[in-house]
Amino acid sequence: MLSRRGFIGSAALLAGATAISGRAQAARLPEAPSMDKATMQPPLFPKSGPDYQPVVTLNGWTLPWRMNDDWKEFHLVAEPVVREMAPGMKAHLWGYNGQSPGPTIEAVEGDKVRIYVTNKLPEHTTIHWHGMLLPSGMDGVGGLTQPHIKPGQTYVYEWVMKKSGTFMYHPHADEMVQMAMGMMGFIVVHPRDPKFMRVDRDFVFLLNAYLIDPGAYVPKVTEMTDFNMWSWNSRTFPGIDHLVVRKGDRVRVRMGNLTMTNHPIHMHGYDFAVTCTDGGWVPESARWPETSIDVPVGAMRAFEFKADVPGDWAIHCHKSHHTMNAMGHEVKNFIGVDKRDLAKAITKLVPDYMPMGSAGMAEMGEMEMPLPDNTLPMMTGFGQFGPIEMGGMFSVVKVREGIGANDYRDPGWYKHPEGTVAYEYTGEVADAPRRATKSEKNNKKPAVELKVIKPASKSGHRGHH
């Protein structure tokens, strides 16, 4: 193919190159590495500059950088990506450098950073550096602080990392679409003093949400409330990495919320305190103990604990609909209804009726329901004692003795010391003492009111909110 460049002489080419040369253009673009895996990559330890404990990104990775004089240079490429949200389900999202979310950017307080952003999307974009203190013109608000980055263009952002802390990046251009498609990433700025707020393990993830109909691959971007995929770093349980921790380690977990609702993140087995927000470090005198941390919309929270109790500790959003995957059909509540006789009667009225959940919905955790391709079961995942009956925003903090420093490999399920697991009572149960109800006293059967609800609409409740 003949390019325009083919027609102009080398002298003209040189003149052209000179005309566009500026601070950044003089240097060759830094490499833009791409990631093809959705599993946690080892942390990137600093090779020069102040020492710090690097973060690990759940189901993610840290963007390598290069030094150019005293500038730390990164290259982000905004592009369509295919993200495996959990084994058996892939989503066609937009992200950065091969994945959604994009790679985590790590720097040190005082660093001069230069971030190249190349747009390979079909529409314009920008990147806003959430929580960052920087010159107004580097803030990344399309139309307000800069022209939009058109498809094919590369823009350069330059600033000095004024303070350490927990930040994120996302577009400030066609946000409804671009954030609903998965465009976001984490930024961690480490303190210049390696001893300040030092921890042994530092986990990061973003809370995000999608509406992807069963069998579909692309999120519906106009949805405001009724999402059905509640994810951490665009992964849902059982696809979310475990947080592997060595006994005795001081641990930090940093979360940012780019969904449209709050998420009370609850961790079992410990109490802890928020030590950092996107506004900065929380002074010790201002902290209080919690076991759930509510992460508001558009905010970041980091909490810390000393991992002194080994075990498999659940960590999850406490909104129970957020620990489930997509439901593609109407689900009615049949709790308390004995469906054995009822099912026959209903099947006459409703041929496609499937009796489900007469004793709760737990049976769905084991049941192999017929599902469309590329659709995750609503509740799934197995532990050493059986089905965990979860989906969505759920993972496990695995605190173990005897693993190496910075070893994040899955140690398997916790081996509970003898006598420390809840156990079945095997004594006499037939005549367990129980107070009689009024109807039982009168020797009548308890009254149960039955209502048959015909699943008329196929387009009913799709998700959880």
Closest CB 392 distance from Cu ion, rounded Å: 8
Handedness of CA 306, 307, 313, 315 (dihedral sign): positive
Q: What CA–CA distance (Å, rounded) separates 140 from 157?
A: 8
Closest CB to Cu ion among residues 190, 319: 319
Closest CB to Cu ion among residues 179, 399: 179
Closest CB to Cu ion among residues 246, 263: 263
Q: What CA–CA distance (Å, rounded) separates 254 from 186?
A: 10
Q: Which segments of 303-389 does DSSP mark as H helices, in order? A: 339-349
Alpha carbons within 13 angstroms on the beta-carbon side of residue 273 total: 10
Closest CB to Cu ion among residues 263, 462: 263
Place of tokens 């919320």: 257
Q: What CA–CA distance (Å, rounded) separates 256 from 210?
A: 16
Closest CB 323 distance from Cu ion, rounded Å: 8
Residues in contact with 1: Cβ distance below 8 Å, sequence separation at least 6, in sequence order: none
Closest CB to Cu ion among residues 130, 263: 263
Closest CB to Cu ion among residues 297, 369: 297
Q: What CA–CA distance (Å, rounded) separates 59 from 278?
A: 22
Q: Taking phi first (over 0 means left), then psi (-120 to 50 degrees means alpha), and beta for anything else, what does residue 315 get?
A: beta
Closest CB to Cu ion among residues 148, 301: 301
Q: What CA–CA distance (Å, rounded) separates 132 from 104?
A: 15
Q: What CA–CA distance (Å, rounded) separates 358 from 352?
A: 17
Q: What is the DSSP letter of 302?
A: E
Closest CB 59 distance from Cu ion, rounded Å: 17
Q: What CA–CA distance (Å, rounded) separates 207 from 140?
A: 22
Closest CB 14 distance from Cu ion, rounded Å: 57
Closest CB 103 distance from Cu ion, rounded Å: 24
Residues in contact with 135: Cβ distance below 8 Å, sequence separation at least 6, in sequence order: 159
Of 142, 132, 72, 136, give the one whose Cα is nearest residue 107.
72
Closest CB 296 distance from Cu ion, rounded Å: 12
Closest CB to Cu ion among residues 75, 263: 263
Closest CB 241 distance from Cu ion, rounded Å: 18
Residues near Cu ion (CB under 5 A) are 263, 317, 319, 322
Closest CB to Cu ion among residues 97, 259: 259
Closest CB 317 distance from Cu ion, rounded Å: 3
Q: Most distant CA pair in the chain: distance in Å?
A: 106
Closest CB 314 distance from Cu ion, rounded Å: 14
Q: Provide the pairing of β-strand 165-170 with 128-130.
A: antiparallel
The answer to whether the beta carbons of residues 375 and 326 sit under 8 Å apart is: yes
